[in-house]
Structure 1
Amino acid sequence: MPFFDGVRNKVYYRQWEVAQPWAQILLLHGFGEHSGHYHRLAGQLNSAGLDVWAPDHLGHGHTGGPAGIFPSVDELASNAGVLVDIMADDEPDLPVVVLGHSLGALTGALLSVRTPSLRTGLIMTGAPLWGLPREAEGRTDLVMAKDRSYLDALENDPLGFDTTPAEPNLWQALTVAGGKVRACLPAMTMPILLVNGEFDAFATPDRAAEFARELQHGQSVVIPGGYHDIPNDVAHREVASLMIEAISGWCPTVHPLPAGSR
């Protein structure tokens, strides 16, 4: 199993390769997940000619540590930066696009701000830029997604854990990271795509659209009927197509879109 030396421990990662990639994707998962939950998205990106690399965050998946606990989003970004160096050693001439969901979206944003080589483009899905919304505090009935395959994978995941004890640490870390991201991203010239479900309880599409207007090259897309875990929700094919279309426009070489893409 592949690991690299992270800030405080060994970090597990997955790699989904294609024969002739034209770009690499750094895929950063959300809280309570791990990279294995993104095999379907990775396959969709592979079908478009994109290599995908994805670490398990500290406290998640095979990386280990206390379940769901990490000291800061900055440390997760530092770990992801080590993987970027490994990606560059593997394919030094390929552009890298950062794609992160929720916790992973803020992780990818912080990493992109401090890493010039990653400014080809940034995709943020369900990014909780303002921390925990007041209307979501204490709620246990919020819908995260309605895709049955994804929900089944979460329910029967041997690497899963009860997220409740770690949630105070999560929201404290996200509040700090969100403030940094909101302060820094508007100064960046890289293209940024924000994707949010219509019914996202943690990252509402109206606030995402408002933030996108502050960016130099920002775009906000709302997925009708979607929820927070939008890359793994019912409209996952549409979301993947949006990503592929954006990445194709950002990378310097012309690439034909695969059949079925937008």
Structure 2
Amino acid sequence: MKNQLQTVSLVVTLLSLVGCASLPNVPARDGGAQTSATQGHELLEGARGTHLFQQWWRPEGQPPRAVVVVVHGLKDHGSRYEELARRLVAKNFAVYAMDLRGHAHSEGPRVDVGTFDDYIEDLGAVLERVREREPGLPVFLFGHSMGGMIVTRYTLEHSAQLAGLITHAPALKVDAPGIQVASVKFISALSPNAGLFQPNLDDYSRDPQVVSATKADPLIYQSAAPVHTASELLRAIERTDARMEDITLPVLILHGTADKLTSAEGSKELYRRARSTDKTLKLYPGLFHDLVHEPEKETVLTDITAWLEARAPGATTSAK
């Protein structure tokens, strides 16, 4: 995490917590009518009975060769990956994208989580449903930012169920002073709903149209996320850092060198320490955080597609 946690005086912060309002709790929504036979959506039950929204895109007229499951990050939702999905569908992949609990169409207090393990259990429920719909197909995980942490954590526990992992600007390293990290955990214990976790949307992409659309997106919770979410992410980063060597399946790691929101050093560390014999690190000079929405997105989308094509059944090129 990089420059996401606001630098504030602990004393001032504690005083500001008095009378903090509860987070808006939004019920799950079905997302409206389905658009075609090859695109659909549904609600399913995740951890603690929370109803989650997921959608999918599938090739028409032939069975898919593999499945890619997309997990988004903060200030984000599954529909923002439709361009990536359609690119992969054209290569005969099925793509599923969930909305995290408390995000977009999924149920729950906005951008809050009980424990980080709820995200992992939610992803497990999504994958169980995917396997019912796509029996026998290899499954690849794609995770952006905090979603990159979620898919990495899931992989550490369930790698035998997966064909590969793609991390896209993952939140794998804390780039903040130790006292600031300790303050976040302390404040979270006192007032977990305090809105102190506010990534700067201007740092997502160098494309001003992308930034404007994100700021106007009604599915994105524009207020600050609760400090509890930041605290849970910090704990997940600590637990994952202790186990990076346990990543052994094929992995593609993507990061922009000018990312101000998550540290590229975390991606480098994962590449160095993962024991995968098939691992690839791609660093994009000058790119910001949201690589598939950067002006150079064509290069990024091509890299993702080529990597998956080389590792899915029916591949015609050798893995690199």
Provide the TM-score with structure 1 as the length reference. 0.88
2:230 maps to 1:171: yes
Residue 216 to residue 249, structure 1, CA distance change in 2 (3 Å): farther
Secondary structure class of the residue paired with 2:150: helix
- Contact (CA 8 Å) 1:2, 1:13: kept in 2 or not? yes
- Contact (CA 8 Å) 1:142, 1:201: kept in 2 or not? no
Identical amino acids, percent of aligned pairs: 22
Q: How much does 1:209 deviate?
A: 1.8
More off after superposition, 54-63 vs 187-196:
187-196
How far apart in 1 are the matches of 2:306 and 2:240?
24
Indicate the residue corresponding to 1:15 in structure 2: 56
More off after superposition, 85-94 vs 210-219:
210-219
- 1:92-131 to 2 correspondence within 5 Å? 92-131=135-174
- 1:9-158 to 2 correspondence within 5 Å? 9-19=50-60, 20-131=63-174, 133-134=176-177, 143-158=203-218
Q: How much does 1:86 deviate?
A: 1.1
Indicate the residue corresponding to 1:6 in structure 2: 46
Secondary structure class of the residue paired with 1:123: strand
Residue 177 to residue 18, structure 1, CA distance change in 2 (3 Å): same
Q: How much does 1:252 deviate?
A: 4.2
Structure 1 stretches of 4+ with a deviation exceeding 6 A read none
Secondary structure class of the residue paired with 1:94: coil
Letter in 2 for 1:40: E
- 1:188-207 to 2 correspondence within 5 Å? 188-207=247-266
How far apart in 2 are the matches of 1:152 and 1:118?
39
Letter in 1 for 2:285: P
- 1:244-255 to 2 correspondence within 5 Å? 244-255=305-316
Aligned pair count? 256
What stretches of structure 2 of length at least 5 have no aligned partner? 1-40, 181-197
Indicate the residue corresponding to 1:221 in structure 2: 282
Letter in 2 for 1:155: K
Letter in 2 for 1:186: E
- Contact (CA 8 Å) 2:174, 2:237: kept in 1 or not? yes
**CA offsets 1:62-87 (integer angstroms, 9 cap, x no match):** 00322111123321121111111111
Residue 140 to residue 111, structure 1, CA distance change in 2 (3 Å): closer
Secondary structure class of the residue paired with 1:3: strand
Provide the TM-score with structure 2 as the length reference. 0.73
Indicate the residue corresponding to 1:260 in structure 2: none
What stretches of structure 1 of length at least 5 have no aligned partner? 258-262
- 1:175-190 to 2 correspondence within 5 Å? 175-190=234-249
2:220 maps to 1:160: yes
Letter in 1 for 2:205: A
Q: How much does 1:207 deviate?
A: 4.1
Which protein has the larger Cα radius of gyration, Structure 1 or Structure 2? 2
Q: How much does 1:211 deviate?
A: 2.9
- Contact (CA 8 Å) 1:32, 1:163: kept in 2 or not? no
Residue 199 to residue 118, structure 1, CA distance change in 2 (3 Å): farther
Q: C-alpha root-mean-square deviation of aligned residues, in Å?
A: 2.5
How far apart in 2 are the matches of 1:110 and 1:206?
18
Residue 227 to residue 131, structure 1, CA distance change in 2 (3 Å): same
Residue 123 to residue 80, structure 1, CA distance change in 2 (3 Å): same
